[in-house]
Structure 1
Amino acid sequence: MTLSTSSSFVSIDSNSDVDSPILTKSSKPLATTANENGATVPSKPSDSKIRKSSFSHRHEWPNGKRPKGFRTQEGKEAAEKAKAYKTSVSIPHLSAPCNTYEGVLKHAILGAIRSGGVTYGLKALVNLCLGMLKLMRGKGSFAQIFKDSFFGVDAIRFGSFFGAFSFLWKFVNNGLRLYRGKDDRLNGAIAGAIAGLSILIESHERRVTFAQTMLIRAGQGVYNAGKHRGVFSFRHGDALLFALACGQVMYAYTIQPQSIPPEYLKFMVNTARVPTEALAFNRLRVRGFPLDLHEVTDMVKRYKATPKALETVAELTEFAKIVPCAVIHPHVDSCRMNNFVRFWEVTRGILPVYATLNFVPLLVLRAKKLMADPVNVLSRVSFNTIRSSVFLAVFVVVYQSQICGHRNLVKYGWLNSNSKYFYWFFGFICSGTSIMVEQESRRAELAMYVLPKAAESLYKILYQKNWVKGVKHWDVMMFSVAMSLIMSFYQQEEQVLSPFVTKLIYHILGKH
């Protein structure tokens, strides 16, 4: 169960010798079609043909070795899309000529002011919108929410971090370019590593989150760089990665909740709407401990248990094989009806959150595009908001269906086990199926969002078992390493980064 918080390129000429596959004598001519004037033009290959041909040129490489500068068709298209985005979007950035070291310093200061101001305002606005949702539920006052949003430590620290990162990256990057007389990956890598030290401004919890997220993004860039060069590729790899990560996250949610960040666990509990006591009772039985029947009875009564649920609980023993469905959803007898109710509740509950996350960046970062074509932009964003909400509801319902199905199999004697590994498998299945509801372009973003949570959970569990050892200040080191990779890609080959990352960096930091 996840919540997503969902570019100047080097021009690449698709007709150049550098970027085109080296043809052999056996190469076939391109297929042609007739245009509206009757002339024959090369046919555009379909997506399936492009994917199929990702490795088909290998036999055409001299001695089986990839030519220098070779890019697959997918890599070329990614570069062209990135280039088109930069040329079509005009974003005002505070800048100064970097012909002297004084100019470099002035440029870095102006960039820091803009980056810090934009991120501070965006964070404060998001906090305000989320606070208004609490206000609608009768929690807090508007004055306090406004004060916390715009004058609280959270937004100020967030803006200061991005401002410091922008200053260090621009100052070191442009300084090295002026000193070395080169504008290459090395400048971006060194500047990114040094700018990564700005993470020290954030709290320890945020440092861990940023380090994990950016390390995953850097790995994604390395994978895409290899894929665009025809070195390797994996169909539906984003969906598989999401399923593997969610298997770990749902296992942790059910069996090892202490390994999940508290705020994320709170979100999962509120979204799934399964009583935390029921999860605790299930953990006791998975580990072989007896149930306290009085606590079970009191819990189901607090959740407005039906007469049938009370009767089921009354028949429980301390060493019951499995915690029954009557404890998991005591207010509804039918598992099928419970899933219908939960689907509606999850969709209705998460819709305002997704609307905030989708519409606030639209108003702040894409206002010009919104004004140019409001109907199409608003309809597309609205549809994507509903689609994402339905995706999360399907995720919850499929997972709950497997939980109830497992209990029914035990109840009727078809299964006699309540292994903890079932819950990892259930998470893998529900995420692998529900991710297909989301648009394909967002699946990688969802995988990148949930993967750090899964990695943190796995690390904590292994650390708890003394299978791994802690490393002091690893979060700062990992963030610097990750930003070194990311900014080196952004310097010369930013199309290998996800569109979300490249657009975010471009909107906040600018070109250099």
Structure 2
Amino acid sequence: MADHISSPVEPSPATPDETTPVTAQSLSSASSSQTITNDSTPTKPTTKSTHRSRKQQREDEKASWVNGKRPKGYLTPEGREAAEKCKNYKSGVSIPYLTHSCKTYEGVLKHAIFGAIRSFGVSYGAKALVNLCLGMLKVMKGKGSFLTNAKDAFTGVDALRFGSFFGMFSFLWKLVNNGLTLYRGTDDRINGAIAGAIAGLALFIEAPERRVTFAQQMFIRSMQGVYNAGKYRGQFSFRHGDAFLFAIGSAQVMYAYTMHPDTIPKEFFQFMVKTARVPAEALAMNRARVRGFPLDLKQVRAMVDRFNPTALTLETVANMSETVDALPCAGLHPWVDSCRETSIDRFVGVIKTIFPVYATLNFVPLVVLRMKRLLKDPVNVLSKTTFNTFRSSAFLAVFVAYYQTQICTHRNLLNAGWKLGNSKYLYWLFGLGSAIPAIMIEQESRRAELAFYVIPKAADSLYRILYRKNWVKGSFYQREEQVLSPFVTKMIYHILGKN
């Protein structure tokens, strides 16, 4: 993180006006105005001199403003720091031969074209390198060859679409924004809003299954902007609000993972099953018991037999009742008896599995986007990136291990005679309890990113669950078109047609 920018200094003692001659009398007056009281405390400057000092300070600050305009969010120290970081970053990313004057429409077009080329190159290169590194992990496990992996990474549709999306977005945004500025003679928010809306059409380049993800992220980023605008203006602020959002979102995601897996993306659910190392069949059996259905003991035995069960596991399954309160630990980790050992194994296993992934996600952007910084101070940058990679891996490992610990503790208390039941809402609380300590391990600057990754999935899952229970309604055009105005219905019908 960049060093924090200190807040403006306190007003200095008043100085004579530039138009006032400096005489012995004026110097004597200035000296006498700073007399010391009996308790050795300087007297407070006069209101007039304080006003002059603060006015001069504001004039000094204005010298660093862009185009004489005060940066947005300048009312708080956080706002000043953010504005300063943004100004410094923008001043360091301009590429002369890709930047053209936008004083003519021809210049606007050239600027948009070269900007699109740069955006395509950066995004395509970053995506291809990430795919290459992730593919190498499979090659190291004996799945595929290096040449095939490299070909798929650099010539596959995934990287080309990703780069084309950002290239087209950049082209449309620069073309419309600068074109409107030139046409209207002013650069304001209206230009940016129109340009952003039109540039969003570039989303059609992406695969249909990924458009929802992009749309969700863009929406939640816009909400982040609204929150930061109020925060930097001193209107409101919530300490650890990002951690709170992550915890709430994670609770809903873990509830969906255990009780409603069809409400989260299939690939995401498979990742969770692989990371948690709990058999998918065990999750299904536990869902059945939560909803009051008896267990099929033959299916339970067939499941544990596939995982090299221990003698205690086989004994537990043999003596198990089909109406047991909850699927016991023997069905969740049949290959080991100790719950403590299971939690430790989860922690170590997640570290080993996820560290290469986080290393790829941390080091590839470093090489692609921050090469100058890397070359300037390689030791510090590499050591910090490596530490952050371990930190992120530990965050996920703690989350998984602590969730498993809570599940096993619940089962052990049931075996001890505690009347806790097996409510489906316990799994929501377990998710909340796992997320809170885990997110505090992650660096503060990344907590918001993790929250914004989880919240859309949690919101989508919650909506699907509520819709299934008929607590919310779906598309009006699809189900209740009569509630829409005739004009809206006709417009949608002529543009989209029937579903």
TM over 0.5: yes
Matches within 5 A, 1:165-184: 165-184=169-188
Tell me how far apart the structure 2 counterparts of residues 100 and 459 of structure 1 sit (CA, whole Å).
Answer: 49
1:388 paired to 2:392: yes
State the distance in 2 between where 1:473 and 1:201 align: 26
Whole-angstrom distance in 2 between the partners of 1:287 and 1:91: 61
1:343 counterpart residue number: 347
Is the CA contact (8 Å cut-off) linking 1:260 and 1:453 kept in structure 2?
yes
Whether 1:420 and 2:424 are equivalent positions in the alignment is: yes
Instruction: Give the distance between the partners of 2:95 and 2:272, measured in 1 at CA.
Output: 37
Question: Aligned pair count?
Answer: 415
Contact 2:74–2:80 (8 Å) recurs in 1:
no
Cα drift, residue 14 of structure 1: 4.9
Q: Cα 1:472–1:392, aligned 2, differ >3 Å: closer, same or farther? A: farther
- In structure 1, the residue matched to 2:104 is 100
| Structure 1 equivalent of residue 46 of structure 2 | none
Q: Tell me the distance in 2 between the aligned counterparts of 1:81 and 1:203.
A: 35
1:147 maps to which residue?
Answer: 151
Deviates more, 1:311-320 or 1:86-95: 86-95
Does residue 259 of the first structure (1) align with residue 258 of the second (2)? no
1:33 aligned partner? none
The verdict on how the C-alpha distance between 1:317 and 1:388 changes in structure 2, with shifts beyond 3 A counting, is same
In 2, the alpha carbon distance for the partners of 1:372 and 1:69 equals: 31
**Matches of 2:442 and 2:354, distance apart in 1:** 15
Q: Distance in 2 between matches of 1:283 and 1:245?
A: 21
Q: Per-residue displacement from partner, 1:247-295 (whole Å, max 9, x unpaired)?
A: 0000011111111111211211111111111111111101111111111
1:313 aligns with 2:314: no
- Give the counterpart of 1:329 among 333, 338, 352: 333
1:190 paired with 2:211, answer no
**Aligned with 2:278: secondary structure?**
coil
- The residue type paired with residue 335 of structure 1 is C
- TM, length-normalised to structure 2: 0.79
1:296 pairs with one of 275, 292, 300: 300
TM-score normalised according to structure 1 size: 0.77
Contact 1:116-1:163 at 8 Å conserved across structures: yes
**Match 2:282 to one of 257, 278, 284:** 278
Query: Secondary structure, in 3 states, of the residue corresponding to 1:437?
Result: coil
Tell me, in whole angstroms, the C-alpha distance in 2 between the residues paired with 1:255 and 1:69.
Answer: 43
1:364 and 1:231 map into 2 onto residues whose CA distance is 37
Aligned equivalents of 2:197, 2:472: Cα separation in 1: 26
Correspondence for 2:251 among 247, 265, 270: 247
Q: Distance in 2 between matches of 1:79 and 1:90?
A: 17
Aligned counterparts of 1:414 and 1:346: Cα–Cα separation in 2:
31
Q: Distance in 1 between matches of 2:357 and 2:228?
A: 31
Contact 1:93 1:114 in 2 (8 A): no
What value does the CA root-mean-square deviation take over the aligned residues?
2.3
CA contact under 8 A between 1:93 and 1:111: conserved in structure 2?
no
Q: Please list every run of 5 or more consecutive structure 1 residues that lacks an aligned counterpart in the other structure.
A: 1-6, 18-67, 475-512
Instruction: Give 1:87 deviation, angstroms.
Output: 3.7
For the residues of structure 2 that align with 1:437 and 1:70, how far apart are their CA atoms?
31
Out of 434, 450, 456, the residue aligned to residue 452 of structure 1 is 456
Aligned to 1:209: 213
Give 1:159's aligned residue: 163
Distance (Å, rounded) in 2 between the aligned partners of 1:331 and 1:407: 17
Q: Are 2:310 and 2:334, in contact at CA under 8 Å, matched by a contact in 1?
A: yes
Alpha-carbon distance between aligned partners in 2 of 1:248 and 1:99, rounded to the nearest angstrom: 51
Q: How many angstroms does 1:468 deviate by?
A: 3.2
Question: Do the aligned residues in 1 keep the contact of 2:7 with 2:77 (CA within 8 Å)?
Answer: no
**Residue 69 and residue 79 in structure 1: after superposition, are their counterparts in 2 closer, same or farther (change >3 A)?**
closer
- Structure 1 counterpart of 2:236: 232
Does the aligned pair in 1 maintain the 2:111–2:174 contact within 8 Å?
A: yes
State the Cα deviation string for residues 337-362 of structure 1 (Å, max 9, x = none).
11111111111111100000000111
Given candidates 217, 220, 224, the residue that maps to 1:220 is: 224
Contact 1:172 1:191 in 2 (8 A): yes
Q: Which residue does 1:374 correspond to in 2?
A: 378
Unaligned runs of 5+ in 2: 12-71, 479-499
The equivalent residue for 1:135 is: 139
- SS of 2:421's equivalent in the other structure is coil
Aligned partners of 1:70 and 1:136: how far apart in 2?
Answer: 51
Instruction: Letter of the 2:393 partner, please give it.
Output: S
| Counterpart secondary structure, 1:245 | helix
Work out the CA distance in 1 between the residues paired with 2:365 and 2:315: 51
* AA aligned opposite 1:253: Y
